[in-house]
C-alpha cells in the first residue's frame, strides 16, 4: 500500500519550491543576463543555463519583464556550438582565437560577471531533416546597447588561472 493522501501532502508542504524558469517561445527578444551557470542534472547530464530577464518582446506569450531560461544539454555535441553562438553574441569583439576554457568558465563563475549584459535572440520553429521532429532554433546576436563591461575582471576560483589580457571584458 502506498502513502496516504495526508502523507503525500505533508511531503508537498515540506518540499522546496522549484525556481525553474520557463523557456523562450517563438519570437524576437532583447534579454538581460541574470545568471550564467553550469550544473549536473539527472542521468549524468551537464547543463548550461542562461537565466534572463526579457527587456523587449514581439510576442504576448513572452512579456517584457518576464524571467526566462535557456538550457543546453552539454552531453550533446550540437550544444557546444549553440553555447559558443550565445557567447559570441555576449562578447562580439572577442577574437575567435581568444576563446579558451578558462575564459568561458569565468563567465559561469559564482561572481556572475555577465550579470546585466544584454543580448538579442530570434527564436523560430524548424523541422529536423533527419528525424522530422520540430525544434526551436535560436539565433543569437549582440545587443545594440551594451555588452560585457570593458576591462572588468571576473573574480572567484574560475578566474584564478585566467590571464588579464585573455579576458574580453
Using left for φ > 0, alpha for ψ between -120 and 50, and beta otherwise, residue 135 falls in: beta
Cβ burial 76-90 (10 Å sphere, 16+ → b, else e): eeebeebbeebbbbb
Average pLDDT (146-152) is 39
Cβ partners under 8 Å of residue 123, min gap 6 = 24, 25, 26, 27, 28, 29, 136, 137, 138, 139
End-to-end CA distance of the chain: 59
The SS3 call for residue 74 is coil
The per-residue pLDDT for 60 is 93
Higher pLDDT, 8 or 151: 8
Cα separation of 50 and 53, whole Å? Answer: 10
Higher pLDDT, 146 or 80: 80
Cα separation of 42 and 59, whole Å? Answer: 32
Question: Is residue 155 pLDDT above 80, yes or no?
Answer: no
Confidence of residue 16 (pLDDT cuts 50, 70, 90): low
The per-residue pLDDT for 149 is 39
Residue that the C-alpha cell 575567435 belongs to:
96
Cα separation of 125 and 107, whole Å? Answer: 29
Higher pLDDT, 161 or 142: 142
Question: Is residue 148 pLDDT above 70, yes or no?
Answer: no
Question: Is residue 125 pLDDT above 70, yes or no?
Answer: yes
pLDDT, mean over the chain? 82
The answer to whether 120 touches 31, Cβ cutoff 8 Å, is yes
Question: Is residue 84 pLDDT above 60, yes or no?
Answer: yes
What's the whole-model pTM score? 0.74
Question: Is residue 37 pLDDT above 70, yes or no?
Answer: yes
Rg (CA), the chain: 19
Amino acid at each position: 500500500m502506498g502513502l496516504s493522501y495526508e502523507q503525500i501532502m505533508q511531503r508537498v508542504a515540506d518540499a522546496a519550491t522549484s525556481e525553474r524558469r520557463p523557456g523562450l517561445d517563438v519570437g524576437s527578444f532583447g534579454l538581460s543576463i541574470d545568471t550564467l551557470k553550469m550544473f549536473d542534472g539527472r542521468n549524468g547530464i551537464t547543463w548550461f543555463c542562461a537565466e534572463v530577464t526579457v527587456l523587449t518582446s514581439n510576442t504576448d506569450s513572452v512579456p517584457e519583464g518576464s524571467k526566462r531560461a535557456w538550457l543546453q544539454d552539454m552531453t550533446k555535441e550540437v550544444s557546444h556550438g549553440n553555447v559558443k553562438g550565445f557567447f559570441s553574441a555576449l562578447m562580439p569583439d572577442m577574437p575567435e582565437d581568444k576563446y579558451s576554457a578558462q575564459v568561458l568558465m569565468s563567465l559561469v563563475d559564482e561572481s556572475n560577471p555577465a550579470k546585466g549584459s544584454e543580448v538579442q535572440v530570434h527564436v523560430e520553429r524548424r523541422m529536423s531533416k533527419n528525424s522530422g521532429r520540430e525544434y526551436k532554433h535560436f539565433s543569437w546576436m549582440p545587443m545594440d546597447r551594451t555588452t560585457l563591461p570593458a576591462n572588468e575582471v571576473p573574480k572567484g576560483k574560475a578566474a584564478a588561472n585566467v590571464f588579464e589580457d585573455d579576458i574580453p571584458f
